[in-house]
Amino acid sequence: MKTISLLGATGSIGTQTLDIIREHPSEFTLAAISVGKNIDLARKMIIEFQPELVSVQDYHDCNTLKAEFPTIKFTFGQEGLIETAVYDKADILVNAVLGSVGLHPTLQAIECGKVIAIANKETLVTAGHLVIEAAQKNNVPLLPVDSEHSAIFQALQGEKEKNIERLILTASGGSFRDFTRQELKNVTVEQALNHPNWSMGAKITIDSASMMNKGLEVIEAHWLFNLPYEKIDVLLHKESIIHSMVEFHDSSIIAQLGTPDMRVPIQYALTYPDRLPLRSSKRLDLASIGKLHFEEMDMARFRCLGFAYEAGKKGGSMPTVLNAANEVAVAAFLEGKIRFLQIEDLIEKALTAHQITTHPSLTAIQEIDKETREYVHSLL
C-alpha cells in the first residue's frame, strides 16, 4: 500500500489521480490533499477519501471547511502547500498544483525524502537546477507525470544515458495548429480552450495553443534527462498518439504510444517500476486510426517555442522569467485583458528586460519571479 499526498487535487491531473486511487483501493491510500478555490469539489473529496490533512488556498475557505469537518486537520496558503507536501504519513507526493507556487513545497518534500511524481512542470522550468540538485543530494526519485516525459522515461528503461542521440518530443499543435499568424490575431479564449486531443486545465490548454507548453517541456526534459538543448527536438504530430520518442546512437528510435489519457502516465509514476491494469482506459486501435502524421516545427509560426529554447540555453534566471511572464500573460488572456498574440509580446519584453543571474538560489528565484510578475502586470 502506497500512501499519497496530492497537491492540486481539484485540478485536471488531481482528479485523474483520484481516479487511479479509486480504481486501486488496495494499492493506494490518500493521506493529504491541497485544493485551491474549488471548495464544492473539495467537500466531495473530503467525504469520499477522508484525508487526514487538507490545505486550502485561502484562509476564509479554510475556516469554512474546518467548521464543517471538525475531525480533519486544515491548513492554508503557501505554508499549507508545504505541510501537505511533507505530510509524514505519505510516501509519495503527486505534485499537480499549477504554477511556480509548487517549487518550495517540492524542495521541502525532497528534503524529507518523499518520492516525487511531478506533473507541475512550472516548478522544473523555474528552478530545475535546484530541484535536480536536491533530488540527487537526498537520493529521491523524480518520476515524470507529463505525458511526453513519461513516454521518454518508459522508453529509457534499461537503457544507458550515454547511448542517447536525442529526444523527440511530440507536439499536437494545440487549438490553433492550422491557423496562420494573421488568423491568430483575433482568436477568442473559447477557441483557445478547445484542444483537439486532450482535456486539461485552462492554463496548459492555452500553453498548448501558443506552443509554450512544448517550450516548457523542452526545459523540463533538459532537467529530467540531463541532456543539452541541442539533443532535444520537437516534432509536430497532430494525433497525440506517439507521446514522445528517444533516438539512440545506433539509429534505433523507441517510442511510447497510447490514446491521449493522462491516467496512464499518472498511474505509471505511482506504480513504477511495476505496472497495474487500467481497465477504464481505452485501448489504442492502430488499425482503425490508419495513419499517423508528422511535420517539422515552424519556429517562426510558434515563437514561444523559440523563446523557451533561448531561455533554456542562456540558463540561470532566464527560465524563471520565461515562466513567470507566461503565467501572468496567460492569466491575463484568460481574463480577457489581452489578445492571444500579446502573450508572446509580453514574454519577449520580460526576457529582453532581464539581467541574468547565474545559478540563482531559491530566494533569488522567488524574488525574480515576483519582479517579473510585477513587470508584466505593469505592461497590461
Question: Is residue 275 at the binding interface for ligand NDP, with CB under 6 A as the rule?
Answer: no
Question: Is residue 104 at the binding interface for ligand DXP, with CB under 6 A as the rule?
Answer: no
Residue count of the chain: 380
Helical packing angle, 202-210 and 212-225, nearest 10°: 100
Per CB under 6 A, which region of 59-67, 145-153, 181-189, 284-292 contacts ligand DXP? 145-153
Question: Are 57 and 35 contacting, i.e. CB atoms less than 8 angstroms apart?
Answer: yes
Per CB under 6 A, which region of 90-98, 125-133, 181-189, 363-371 contacts ligand NDP? 90-98
Pick from 285, 303, 186, 299: nearest CA to 234: 299
State which of residues 147, 256, 267, 323 lies at the interface with Mn ion (CB under 5 A): 147
Counting Cβ atoms within 10 Å, is residue 119 exposed (0-12), middle (13-18) or buried (19+)?
Answer: buried
At its nearest, how many Å lie between ligand DXP and the CB of residue 271? 18
Residue 233 pairs in a beta bridge with: 168
Residue 374 Rama label (left phi>0; alpha psi -120 to 50; beta): alpha
Cell of 324: 513567470
Nearer residue to Mn ion within complex by CB, 61 or 148: 148
| Distance, CA of 141 to CA of 153 (rounded, Å) | 12
Question: Is residue 69 at the binding interface for ligand DXP, with CB under 6 A as the rule?
Answer: no
Total interface residues for ligand DXP by CB under 6 A: 12
State which of residues 33, 54, 171, 376 lies at the interface with ligand DXP (CB under 6 A): 171
The torsion angle over the Cα atoms of residues 128, 129, 135 and 141, rounded to 10 degrees, is 40
State which of residues 121, 222, 243, 354 lies at the interface with ligand NDP (CB under 6 A): 121
| 150 contact partners, CB below 8 Å, separation of at least 6 | 144, 243, 256, 264, 265, 268, 269
Q: Select the binding partner of residue 37 from Mn ion, ligand NDP, ligand DXP, none (C-beta < 5 to 8 A, by kind).
A: ligand NDP
Sketch the per residue contact string, 249 through 268, with ligand DXP: x for CB under 6 A, - otherwise. Answer: -------------x------
Total interface residues for Mn ion by CB under 5 A: 3
Nearer residue to Mn ion within complex by CB, 74 or 309: 309
Sketch the per residue contact string, 33 through 52, with ligand NDP: x for CB under 6 A, - otherwise. Answer: -xxxxx--------------
Question: Are 40 and 64 contacting, i.e. CB atoms less than 8 angstroms apart?
Answer: no
Residue number closest to ligand NDP, CB atom? 11
- Measured CA to CA in angstroms, residue 136 lies from 107, 132, 165, 223 at distances of 12, 6, 24, 12
State which of residues 179, 198, 229, 248 lies at the interface with ligand DXP (CB under 6 A): 198
State which of residues 196, 201, 306, 315 lies at the interface with ligand NDP (CB under 6 A): 201
Nearer residue to Mn ion within complex by CB, 95 or 147: 147
Question: Are 110 and 118 contacting, i.e. CB atoms less than 8 angstroms apart?
Answer: no
State which of residues 213, 256, 317, 326 lies at the interface with ligand DXP (CB under 6 A): 213
| Distance, CA of 139 to CA of 137 (rounded, Å) | 6
The residues that touch ligand NDP, with contacts defined as CB under 6 A, are 8-14, 34-38, 57, 96-99, 101, 119-122, 146, 198, 200-204, 262
The residues that touch Mn ion, with contacts defined as CB under 5 A, are 146-148
